Amino acid sequence: MKQSSRNLLLQIITGLMILTLMIWQAKRPRSVELDSGYRQTMGTFARLLVVAPDREAAENSLDAAFAVFDRVEALMSDYDPDSQISRVNRDAYHEPVAVDGQVFEVLSAALEYSRLTDGAFDITVGPVVQLWRDARQGGQAPTPEAIARARENVGYRYLELDPETQTVRFGRDGMLLDVGGIAKGYALDRAAEAMRQAGALGAMIDIGGDIVCFGQAVGGRDHWLIGLQDPDEDGNLLLRLKIDDRAVATSGDYRRFVVVDDRKHSHIINPATAEAAEALASVTIIAATAMHADALATAASVMGPEKALTLIESIDHTEAILIPGDRPQDILKTSGAADTIE
Is the same domain home to 211 and 138?
no
The answer to the question of residue 182 being in a domain is no
Instruction: Measure the CA angle with vertex 5, ends 4 and 11; round to 5°.
Output: 90
The answer to the question of residue 181 being in a domain is no
pLDDT digits 0-9 by tens, 13-64: 665 566 555 554 444 457 899 999 999 999 899 999 999 999 999 999 999 9
Residue numbers of the domain that contains 85:
79-170
249: which residues sit within 8 A by CB, 6+ positions away? 185, 209, 210, 211, 284, 285, 287, 290, 293, 294, 296, 297
Is the same domain home to 236 and 312?
yes
Is the same domain home to 140 and 252?
no
Is the same domain home to 334 and 231?
yes
| % of the chain beyond a pLDDT of 90 | 67
The closest of 203, 306, 318 to 249, measured between CA atoms, is 318
Is the same domain home to 56 and 202?
yes
Is the same domain home to 206 and 324?
yes
CATH number at residue 218: 3.10.520.10
The answer to the question of residue 189 being in a domain is no
| Contact call for residues 167 and 33 (beta carbons, < 8 A) | no
Query: Domain count of the chain?
Result: 2
The answer to the question of residue 273 being in a domain is yes
The closest of 59, 31, 35 to 47, measured between CA atoms, is 35
The answer to the question of residue 298 being in a domain is yes
The answer to the question of residue 223 being in a domain is yes
pTM, entire model: 0.85
Q: Which of 43-47, 268-272, 276-280 has the highest mean pLDDT?
A: 43-47
Is the same domain home to 199 and 330?
yes
Is the same domain home to 213 and 336?
yes
Domain end (from 153, 170, 187): 170
**Which DSSP string do the residues of 194-255 spell out, in sequence order?**
HHHHTT-SEEEEEETTEEEEEESPGGG-SSEEEEEE-SSSTT-EEEEEEESSEEEEEEETTT
pLDDT digits 0-9 by tens, 81-129: 999 999 999 999 999 999 999 999 999 999 999 999 999 999 999 999 9
